[in-house]
Amino acid sequence: MLQVQDISVHYGMIQAVHGVSFEVKQGEIVSLIGANGAGKTTILRTISGLVRPSSGHILFEGKNIEKEAPQKIVASGLSQVPEGRHVFSGLTVQENLEMGAFLRKDSGVKEDYEQIFKKFPILKERRSQDASTLSGGEQQMLAMGRALMSKPKLLLLDEPSMGLAPIFIKEIFSIIQEIQAQGTTVLLIEQNAKMALSIANRGYVLETGKIVLEGTGQELLSSEAVKKAYLGG
């Protein structure tokens, strides 16, 4: 579904990503793990069209997208939940969800609101509340619901557990598995390596802008190098 081919990314003179290649197959959860500054968020932003690669190619369902505008990438079926959630303050929960459906032209939007409220019952309770007044966990659910309202084929998640209480982290990861089970492919970037790899079909380990390890989620969980670097082993 997604092929990232030898992409490099620069911020001015600084190279943040060095010839990274990986793929995401339809129906998978794929996790990218790595320390802060490893290039994880830059890679997601490049896939989403928010950052342009210096070189390399990105193919989504066989079509090159590295030069496409972000809104065209969303319209093609690829949606991102950004790090830090970034809900629209001053808009209600319902209005935030409406923003997620902005590009849709089909007639199934109303039914999809109900699906989101079924998946995230707390959002239904708070549908008329200003999004900025939600807790961190509730904002994360809203950001995920907003992205799902665009009906993505591939959902990009950037650090969904960041800053959340353990009870919310467990719930968020359970919802990610539910999203996959309902047919959406997931590319997950996450510092909580144990949680990310435990639900991943496959994973890649990034260090200083390069992929240094890859394997199934279980293979990486069992790797002595991963245990030592990311799992406290």
The per-residue pLDDT string of the chain (233 residues; one tens digit each, 9 = 90 and over) reads 999 999 999 999 999 999 999 999 999 999 999 988 889 999 999 999 999 999 999 999 999 999 999 999 999 999 999 887 789 999 999 999 989 888 777 877 788 888 899 889 999 999 999 999 999 889 999 999 999 998 999 999 999 988 888 888 888 999 999 999 999 999 999 888 999 999 999 999 999 999 999 999 999 999 998 988 887 65
Residue 113 resides in a domain: no
At 196, list the tokens.
């990310």
- Alpha carbon distance 197, 217 (integer Å): 5
Q: State the Rg of the chain over Cα.
A: 17
Domain count, the chain: 1
Domain coverage including residue 20: 2-83+152-230
In angstroms, rounded to a whole number, what is the distance separating the alpha carbons of residues 9 and 41? 12
**pLDDT at 233 (0 to 100):** 55
Is 91 part of a structural domain of the chain? no
Residue 132 placed within a domain: no
> Between β-strands 29-33 and 185-189, what pairing exists: parallel, antiparallel or unpaired?
parallel
Answer yes or no: is 94 within a domain. Answer: no
pLDDT in the model for residue 53: 97
Predicted TM-score (pTM) of the model is: 0.90
Element at 219 (helix H, strand E):
helix 217-222
- 25, 1 contact by CB (below 8 A): yes
Categorise residue 123: left if φ over 0, alpha if ψ from -120 to 50, beta otherwise.
alpha
pLDDT on residue 231: 74
Separation CA 74–CA 77 (nearest Å): 5
Q: Is residue 146 part of a domain?
A: no
- Dist. CA 162–CA 31, nearest whole Å: 15
Record the tokens describing residue 74, joined without a space.
């969303």
CATH number at residue 176: 3.40.50.300
On whether residue 92 sits in a domain, the answer given is no
Query: Does 16 fall in a domain?
Result: yes
Residue 106, domain member (yes or no): no
